[in-house]
């Protein structure tokens, strides 16, 4: 397994010399560093799965492997970001409190072992804990910060199905860069038994791209051009706690959709819509109190936009990443290709108004 390179230098990100007439591209270094971080974190997650997940784990519903992977991936990504952008804070999902003291000893040792099996320069235990805790920034509307979900789709991870490592850069409250690492996503959804492992990346104003996880040429992606909702396909969560499949079924009826849904966990659903594997992804409110987290949507949001799709909340408002660690100004998420987006929003509003959810 390739070792982690925590320090990405400017030549690696295709910086131009002073004698060149071409400027360095917008967020060029950030893009390359983010790709490296997500690539390496994805490998760590795959290593955890191979070493720690087995039939007994699934039978007993033991979540410890995904906990190890969460902490290890966050440590790896935050270490790379700190090496290259030491002044950039991070809004991350995890903190290290469960790894401390005698109670955290077993889990802590597993995390340290996994991280140091995948880095060029071994990290101390304190260094790993500090890297994890770099994810405690409060977020906000000014300056720049990253947001990270080290494993989005924990149950998908444990099943050996879809999960994603999700990293986004937010500047002055707007997502400017996003990278998704999807280790189990088929390269071609028409060949489900074929090659797996996809990395997607988008920078504001530069389009969206995918390449194979592990390297290779980047290829541009675009959302579907389907213009009649009856020809559209839903991409839905596997977990009922993340979606109301009954509401989705009613929305499908209103739109005339009869095709079977594509079901998968994590921000891989954003990836599916961004490259045209499906046309619609809904994350409707499952309670009056639940508020979406920015790390669950940052990378997917910009990848959809840059692929030509649209994303909003159930009211049609753009997702607002300026409110801190959550999308507190929004309710639910709707993503679709541009041609049918307005029709989808109308069907969502009709369904939820009838249930008094708006």
C-alpha span between 89 and 153 (Å, rounded): 24
* Helices and strands (DSSP H and E) totals, the chain: 10, 12
User: Any idea what DSSP says for residue 326?
Assistant: B
Give 59-106 as a DSSP string.
Answer: HTT--HHHHHHHHHHHHHHHHHHHHH-TT--EEES--SGGGSTTTTHH
Tokens standing for residue 92: 């991350």
Catalytic residue set: 70, 154
C-alpha span between 67 and 61 (Å, rounded): 13
User: Any idea what DSSP says for residue 260?
Assistant: P
C-alpha span between 164 and 46 (Å, rounded): 11
User: How far is the CA of 149 from the CAs of 71, 182, 239, 269, in angstroms?
Assistant: 10, 12, 18, 15
Tokens standing for residue 217: 């040429």
Check if the beta carbon of residue 237 is closer than 8 Å to that of residue 296. Answer: no
Find all residues with CB under 8 Å of 310, minimum gap 6, and list them.
Answer: 304, 335, 336, 337, 338, 341
For the CA atoms of 66, 72, 74, 79, the dihedral, rounded to the nearest 10 degrees, stands at -170
Find all residues with CB under 8 Å of 354, minimum gap 6, and list them.
Answer: none
C-alpha span between 105 and 124 (Å, rounded): 14
C-alpha span between 182 and 300 (Å, rounded): 12
């Amino acid at each position: 397994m390739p070792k982690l390179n925590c320090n990405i230098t400017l030549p690696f990100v295709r910086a131009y010399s002073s004698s060149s007439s071409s400027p360095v591209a917008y967020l060029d270094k950030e893009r390359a560093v983010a790709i490296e971080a997500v690539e390496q974190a994805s490998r760590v997650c795959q290593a955890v799965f191979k070493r720690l997940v087995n039939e007994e784990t699934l039978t007993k519903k033991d979540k410890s492997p995904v906990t190890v992977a969460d902490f290890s991936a966050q440590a790896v990504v935050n270490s790379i970001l700190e090496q290259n952008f030491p002044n950039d804070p991070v809004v991350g999902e995890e903190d290290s409190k469960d790894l401390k003291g005698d109670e955290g000893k077993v889990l802590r040792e597993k995390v340290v072992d996994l991280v140091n099996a995948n880095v060029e320069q071994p990290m101390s235990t304190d260094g790993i804990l500090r890297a994890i805790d770099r994810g405690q920034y409060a977020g906000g509307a000014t300056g720049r910060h990253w947001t990270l979900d080290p494993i989005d789709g924990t149950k998908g991870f444990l099943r050996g199905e879809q999960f994603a490592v999700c990293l986004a850069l937010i500047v002055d409250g707007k997502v400017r860069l996003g990278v998704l690492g999807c280790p189990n996503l088929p390269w071609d959804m028409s060949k489900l038994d074929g090659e797996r492992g996809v990395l997607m990346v988008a920078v504001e104003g530069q389009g969206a791209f995918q390449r194979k996880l592990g390297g290779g040429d980047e290829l541009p992606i675009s959302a579907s051009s389907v213009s009649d909702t009856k020809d559209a396909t839903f991409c839905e969560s596997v977990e009922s706690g993340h979606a109301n499949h009954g509401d989705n079924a009613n929305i499908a009826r209103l739109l005339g959709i009869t095709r079977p849904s594509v079901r998968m966990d994590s921000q891989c659903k954003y990836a599916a819509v961004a490259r045209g594997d499906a046309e619609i992804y809904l994350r409707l409110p499952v309670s009056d109190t639940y508020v979406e987290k920015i790390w669950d949507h940052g990378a997917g949001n910009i990848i959809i936009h840059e692929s030509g799709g649209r994303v909003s909340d159930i009211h049609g408002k753009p997702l607002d990443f300026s409110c801190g660690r959550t999308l507190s100004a929004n309710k639910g998420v709707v993503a679709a290709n541009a041609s049918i987006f307005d029709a989808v929003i109308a069907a969502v509003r009709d369904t939820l108004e009838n249930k008094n959810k708006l």
